[in-house]
Amino acid sequence: MNHLSSETFRENARAALADVHLRGALKNATSLFGERRRVAAASLPNWEDLRSEARAIKDEVLSHLDKYLEEFVRTAESRGAKIHWARDAAEANTIICRLSAERKASVIVKSKSMTTEETHLNTALEAAGMQVVETDLGEYIIQLADEPPSHIIAPAIHKTRGQVAELFTSELGTPPTDDIAQLTSTARATLRDRFAAADVGISGVNFAIAETGTIVIVENEGNIRLTTSLPRLHIAVMGIEKVIPRFADLDVFLKLLPRSGTGQRLTTYQSFITGTKRHATDEGPEELHILLLDNGRSRMLAHPVTRQSLACIRCGACLNACPVYQQIGGHAYGSVYPGPIGAVITPQLMGLEKASQLPYASSLCGACREVCPVKIDIPRLLLHLRGEISERKGSARERLAFKLWARVMMSPVLYKMSSVAGRVLQRVVPISKAWTSGRDLRPIEPRSFHELWSDE
């Protein structure tokens, strides 16, 4: 079930629902992450204030995004970083392929970056004849399996240790084992060899500081530190929304991101990288290139409701909290960004027509809004997108039905008549199968609330 499409969401979801193993894995993952997040958030007395503060900072940046980007570019360049701008995925991949080819790179190590998943960078680099190795353990596993990530922070959440062992045996020739520590050390050993050989390291960016030109990357494994320390060229890829104004703002985000993602107080490593090294004898890459990607993001600025999608810090908390994601997992969304945030970002990035089912992949229960560390009102965004979809391609029948419904609801006489009619009709006319195949439809009560009230 590799590389599903957002256009077939309903079929994907149905297939995922039938996968008993997947649902077990999802239940474990989402409940564990959810509980850890709850405990971590409760440990800070000012959690709600932090969320408001983080959102205020993001709102400030997004309403002056041009200004903060220009400031970041100025400060980063003054420290020796080279900046590249890419309007779309193709342009981003072309720039990265060119930079790597110019330096005659043959091995490229990568740390986890959702942005390069979005641009399908690996495919482009491989087509250009370079070996690309994902070094985050989860990403490495799914790269060997040729599958997309199924969770923003735990990409291989859908695989059992048995499946990983089989994969390592067939791809790396290691003896079969059920021991997770052994599997991890196999990956460590194999990847060390690639780190030692790598010419280029490609990373993502969690925060880019306008004031200082610093990029901040957080992780637990150490592969990001290796990727950004060993090769002579480091390319950092970031969406244009990743910039924040001041270095001191990190205090707020470093409290929110790890607690929301994995329930940690801090992840094991935070790398704060500001430009290139000062002396030739210093450690670290010779060159730092930072690529700023638009790819549909600037469009989202055109309305305050859609703009808040850009406040997302990719913690994955909304995935764990979502009753839909909990049942179907990430692959069914057919997008690198799954779950509630994926359901709002994907249609805006890829175009409504390519992902028109995703905004409906929600019960609008609001659990995502409750856990979001930057208070993104995802249910409101979903409704906004549904509105845009029905304006574009709502059926005439649906429009007529809602017109009728509105007319009936505005007139007590018509309402009364319709409920009487409904009671009779439901016995003789079968109700739409699409509605009742997945849920029960209770019969209309013989007497309405209104009638009972009048009797009292």
Partner 1 sequence: MNNEARQEILSSIRTHLAASAPFDARESPVNHAVVLSAQPVASNLIDLFKENLEAVDGHCIVAHGDAEIAEALTQIISALQKTKLRAQRIAISDAPELERLMYMTDLEIEELGIAPNASDIFRFDVGITTGQAAIAETGTLVLDSAHERHRLVSLVPPVHIAIVDASTIYATVGETLSMLKIGKELSPAVTFITGPSRTADIELTLTIGVHGPQELYVIINQSPRCT
- Residues 15-44 touching partner 1, rule: CB under 8 A, are 25, 28-29, 32
Alpha helices in 211-329 (DSSP H): 223-229, 250-261, 304-307, 317-321, 323-328
Q: How far apart are CA 49 and CA 36, in angstroms?
A: 20
The piece of 100-108, 149-157, 361-369, 408-416 that touches partner 1 (CB under 8 A) is: 149-157
The CB-of-166 to partner 1 minimum distance in angstroms stands at: 13
Q: Nearest distance from residue 20's CB to partner 1, in Å?
A: 16
Give the bridge partners for 415, in sequence order.
none
Residue closer to partner 1 by CB (options 50, 358) is 50
Segment contacting partner 1 (CB under 8 A): 113-121, 270-278, 333-341, 350-358?
Answer: 270-278
Task: To the nearest 10°, report the CA torsion of 234, 239, 245, 250.
Answer: -70
Per CB under 8 A, which region of 15-23, 299-307, 355-363, 398-406 contacts partner 1? 299-307
**Residue with Cβ nearer partner 1 (13 or 50):** 50
Interface residues for partner 1 in 35-94 (CB under 8 A)? 45-46, 49-50, 52-53, 55-56, 59-60, 63, 65-66, 69-70, 79, 82-87, 91
DSSP state of 7: G
> Which residues in the 92-111 window bind partner 1 by CB under 8 A?
95
Which string of x and - marks every residue 321-360 that binds partner 1 (by CB under 8 A)? ----------------------------------------
* Amino acid at the residue 160: T
- Decide if residue 114 touches partner 1 (CB under 8 A): no
The footprint of partner 1 on this chain (CB under 8 A) covers a number of residues equal to 99
**What's the distance, CA 3 to chain centroid?**
16
Query: CA-based Rg of the chain, rounded to a whole angstrom?
Result: 25
Q: Name the minimum Å distance from CB 342 to partner 1.
A: 20
State the minimum distance, in angstroms, from the CB of residue 28 to partner 1: 6
User: 226 with 137: CB under 8 angstroms?
Assistant: no
Interaction residues for partner 1, span 200-259 (CB under 8 A): 212, 214, 220-223, 225-226, 229-230, 240, 247-248, 250-252, 254-255
H helices of 280-357, where?
A: 304-307, 317-321, 323-328, 339-350
| Among the listed residues 102, 146, 283, 456, the single contact to partner 1 using CB under 8 A | 283
Q: Which of residues 374-393 bind partner 1 (CB under 8 A)?
A: 375
Residue 40 neighbours by CB distance under 10 Å:
20
Q: Crossing angle, helix 180-197 and helix 137-145, to 10 degrees?
A: 90
- Least separation in angstroms between residue 392's CB and partner 1 is 18
Question: Between residues 13 and 241, which has the closer beta carbon with respect to partner 1?
Answer: 241
Distance CA(34)–CA(148), nearest Å, equals 23
From 14-22, 265-273, 385-393, 412-420, span contacting partner 1 (CB under 8 A): 265-273
| 8 Å CB contact between 312 and 153 | no
Among 157, 200, 233, 385, binds partner 1 (CB under 8 A): 157
Long-range contacts of 174-182, Cβ-Cβ distance < 8 Å, separation of 24 or more: none
**277: how many CB neighbours lie within 10 A of its CB?**
14
Query: Within 10 Å of residue 50's Cβ, how many Cβ atoms?
Result: 20
Smallest separation (angstroms) from partner 1 to the CB of 44: 8
CA distance 456 to 452: 7
Q: What is the distance, to the nearest Å, from the Cα of residue 142 to the centroid of all Cα atoms in its chain? A: 16
Contact region for partner 1 (CB under 8 A) — 120-128, 275-283, 347-355, 359-367? 275-283
Q: How far is the CB of 210 from partner 1 (least distance, A)?
A: 13
- Residue 439 CB, nearest distance to partner 1 (Å)? 31
- 436 binding partner 1? (CB under 8 A): no
CB atoms within 10 A of CB 52: 14
Q: Which of residues 163-192 bind partner 1 (CB under 8 A)?
A: 164, 180-181, 183-185, 187-188, 191-192
Residue count of the chain: 456
Stretch that binds partner 1, among 9-17, 157-165, 362-370, 409-417 (CB under 8 A): 157-165
Q: Specify whether the CB–CB gap between 321 and 371 falls below 8 A.
A: yes
How far apart, in whole angstroms, are the C-alpha atoms of residue 133 and residue 223? Answer: 11
**Minimum CB distance to partner 1 smaller for 4 or for 164:** 164
The type of residue at 268 is T
CA dist., res. 444 & res. 446, Å (int):
6
Give min distance, CB of 453 to partner 1, in A.
Answer: 36
